[in-house]
Amino acid sequence: MLDPDEIRKDFPILERTINGRKIVYFDNAASTQKPIQVIEAMEEFMKKHYANVHRGLHTLSQEASQKYEESHEIVAKFINAYSWREVIFVSNTTEAINAIAYGWGLWNLKEGDEIIVTIMDHHSNMLPWRLIAQLKGARVKYVDINNEGYLKYEELEEKISNKTKIVAFPVASNVLGTINEARKIARLAHEVGAIVVADGAQSVPHVPTNVRELEVDFLAFSGHKMLGPTGIGVLWGREDVLEEMKPFKVGGDTIKDVTLDSIVWHDLPWRFEAGTPNIVEAVGLAEAVKYLSRIGMENIRNHEVELVAYTLKRFEELGEELEYYGPRNPHHKTGVIAFNVKDLNHHTTGASLDLFGIAVRTGMHCAHPLHYRLGLKGTVRASYYLYNTFEEIDYFIESLEKIIMLKEKFTREIPTSICTGT
């Protein structure tokens, strides 16, 4: 079983105080904190092994190249890829999806083709397809959600046709936490020969991931949301699809040979990793994956389900003063809870919680269409991870009770005008 109290000892930042109170970090859907093992692995690499990869025969370059390539293997095993060659390192989920849009979509879509996305998609899995559709004369169609925050699968079935070339969706919503039925979506798409793009930014860090079972063609996720550093993400793709895809960025290390008349592209995955990569970050990501694997993704998943169930139960004590959104069944969602305090702006709620040392996210969370669909101008988002505890949730609820009791005071002292961003 997962022991969050023991795990917390590995995270130095959790000892910090904010406004005189020990920090409660509930902003994990935006980015997670880093264990000392990841910090030290990156530091040791820079101290003892750093050099550019695939560039030299000297010892440091060989050591760096080996560690960089081993990072691909570690990530591949984590998601049960068929081969490490299917794992491409990019800067983040956003770049991964853009790589698919411009490397596959730009070369394969034509006028009249259709792309299906969902109303709950993060902008990173919506905007690239809208731009590509404009460039190619294709059409984007949207699948709605029901009042409980689940995708309308019957609507998806109605909208998929022989014109559908791409179906893109989040494995889990970054606002509602809803875990979508990836295999069901993939099978519907594959019936008409469409390519399936899964945004795994909110699922891979929290739910056991097996790309073979998902049956999707592409999966994108970020290192910084799973205990790793910023600046590195992963694009996984089926090897046969990647072999047909064009490089999104080209330059150093993407080729075997170049003449003035021809280009011979490099093998997978290197043809998609142009220029000097984020080597140190790859080492950090590999260490983060090792850490998660030691804890066990099933254990992490079960812990988050329990935290969500407990939170929703405690929320009931606040009655009509609080409204929360998305599935009520904790087994159907990740550790993400979006809510609002009645008659209090979401930014004001977030800033008020910060006075208690509680870090949450406020705004539209890069999912504006979803918020408009819900009739909201923004939400407060609490999101959990393996180091969060029931005691923190109790303190969270106590703090919300105080904010609700004194919300007129908080409204005066924390004007909405000081809060910006989405």
Give me the active site residues, please.
366
Judge contact between 51 and 60, C-beta under 8 A.
yes
Whole-angstrom distance, CA of residue 285 vs CA of residue 288: 5
Dihedral pair phi/psi, residue 257, rounded to 5°:
-160, 150
Residue closest to 178 by CA, chosen among 214, 159, 206: 206
Residue 204 CB partners (closer than 8 Å, separation 6+): 79, 171, 219, 221, 225, 226
DSSP at 418: G
Whole-angstrom distance, CA of residue 49 vs CA of residue 69: 14
Whole-angstrom distance, CA of residue 308 vs CA of residue 90: 32
Tokens of 356: 């208690």
Dihedral pair phi/psi, residue 149, rounded to 5°:
95, 15
Judge contact between 223 and 232, C-beta under 8 A.
yes
